């Protein structure tokens, strides 16, 4: 399954880049004698799609507008990435859609919740995407080493987390990372956000979108209106970025990764090596028809169409 990333939000705050020296392991940060893990699965709808809403860091006070916007999204399930606070928050969310939640470092009164949840997105007997849901996973814009080890051990390709209150969509080596930001009380000047994950089996894509229930946008700088584009290199991969600032204070952001390298294809097998990162991926392929090929790689199968 390939991944495309986009943002569609009302405002965005600065990232918190202060990294602690020598961070402790996850079980030391989330107080419990032994880390509790659970696994679950969610099936695609009959139309081959799935919508997950993602919230985190509600701290007993889910934003009043969040439930209205969540209901409007009609998610198939909701994920809560910890620091829930009062458990009545979970009741509010569970009234909207099936709920999967993990404990955060403040959730000492939620002993029934796991610290780590492995969630499979399935179609029939096939797992299309495995999500690792936990509270603390990133250090600035990158995955912590303990979260990376845990994701690899659980064979997950997407890590969903919270804790920082800073919205993040990133790719760290072979793992995708999504932190929706906080849907609870505002911290500093950070935005109040929740997110969605849209999964479509037909195209093999997952789209991550932070969305803000309010629009406290300062429109005093009209010179920034319009469409802006930039190119940056992150993790050895070139990203083409586009942001469109609208007069009503909203914006639309898209990030598209571009990579180059070598590829060998023969006998229903393929191997691609990135010229930028030096990393290699291998997999198989199956010709569906004259214009379609199903390619299976480390993230599962994806159907590609000739343009």
> What is the four-CA torsion angle of 120, 126, 129, 133, rounded to 10 degrees?
10
The dihedrals phi and psi of 68, each to the nearest 5 degrees, come to -60, -45
Residues 17 and 68 in one domain: yes
Supply the CATH number for residue 123's domain.
3.60.21.10
213 — pLDDT class (breaks 50, 70, 90)? low
Q: Are residues 249 and 158 in the same domain?
A: no
Confidence of residue 220 (pLDDT cuts 50, 70, 90): very low
Q: Tell me the pTM.
A: 0.61
For residue 221, is it within any domain?
no
Distance, in Å, from the CA atom of 5 to the CA atom of 239, rounded to the nearest integer, reads 11
DSSP, res 193: -
In this predicted structure, what is the pLDDT of residue 7? 34
Residue 265 and residue 245 in one domain: no
Q: What are the tens digits of pLDDT across the range 234-250?
A: 555 666 667 676 666 66
Residue 134 backbone class (left: φ over 0; alpha: ψ -120 to 50; beta: rest): beta
Q: Please give the residue range of the domain that contains residue 247.
A: 226-258
- Assigned domain for 162 exists: yes
* Residues 6+ away with beta carbon under 8 Å from 24: none
Tell me, yes or no, whether 220 lies in a domain: no
The structural domain count of the chain equals 3
176 with 288, same domain: the answer is no
> Do 182 and 238 share a structural domain?
no
CB 77 within 8 A of CB 44: no
Mean pLDDT of 44-51: 88
Residue 132 lies in a domain: yes
Residues 151 and 12 in one domain: yes
**Residue-averaged pLDDT of the chain:** 78
In a domain, 218, yes or no: no
pLDDT tens-digit profile of 261-277? Answer: 777 777 788 787 776 66
Beta bridge partners of 40: 119
State residue 71 phi and psi, 5-degree precision.
Answer: -60, -40
């Amino acid at each position: 399954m390939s991944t495309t990333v986009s943002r569609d939000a009302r405002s965005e705050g600065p990232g918190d880049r202060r990294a602690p020296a020598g961070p402790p392991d996850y079980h030391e940060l989330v107080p419990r004698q032994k880390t509790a893990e659970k696994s679950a699965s969610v099936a695609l709808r009959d139309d081959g799609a799935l919508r997950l809403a993602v919230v985190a860091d509600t701290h007993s006070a889910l934003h009043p507008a969040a439930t209205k916007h969540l209901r409007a999204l009609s998610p198939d399930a909701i994920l809560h990435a910890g620091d829930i606070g009062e458990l009545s928050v979970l009741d509010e969310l569970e009234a909207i859609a099936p709920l999967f939640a993990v404990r955060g470092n403040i959730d000492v009164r939620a002993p029934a919740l796991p610290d780590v949840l492995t969630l499979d997105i399935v179609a029939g007997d096939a797992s299309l995407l495995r999500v690792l849901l936990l509270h603390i996973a990133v250090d600035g814009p990158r995955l912590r080493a303990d979260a990376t080890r845990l994701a690899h051990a659980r064979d997950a390709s997407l890590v969903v987390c919270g804790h920082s209150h800073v919205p993040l969509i990133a790719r760290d080596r072979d793992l995708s990372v999504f932190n929706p930001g906080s849907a609870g009380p505002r911290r500093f000047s950070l935005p109040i956000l929740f997110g969605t994950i849209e999964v479509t089996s037909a195209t093999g894509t997952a789209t991550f979108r932070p969305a803000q229930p309010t629009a406290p946008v300062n429109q005093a700088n009209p010179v920034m209106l319009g469409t802006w584009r930039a190119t940056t290199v992150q993790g050895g991969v070139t990203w083409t970025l586009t942001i469109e600032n609208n007069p009503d204070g909203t914006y639309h952001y898209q990030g598209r990764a571009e990579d180059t390298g070598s590829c060998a294809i023969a006998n229903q097998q393929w191997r691609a090596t990135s010229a930028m990162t030096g990393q290699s991926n291998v997999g198989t392929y199956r010709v569906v028809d004259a214009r379609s090929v199903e390619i299976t790689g480390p993230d599962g199968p994806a159907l590609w169409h000739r343009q």
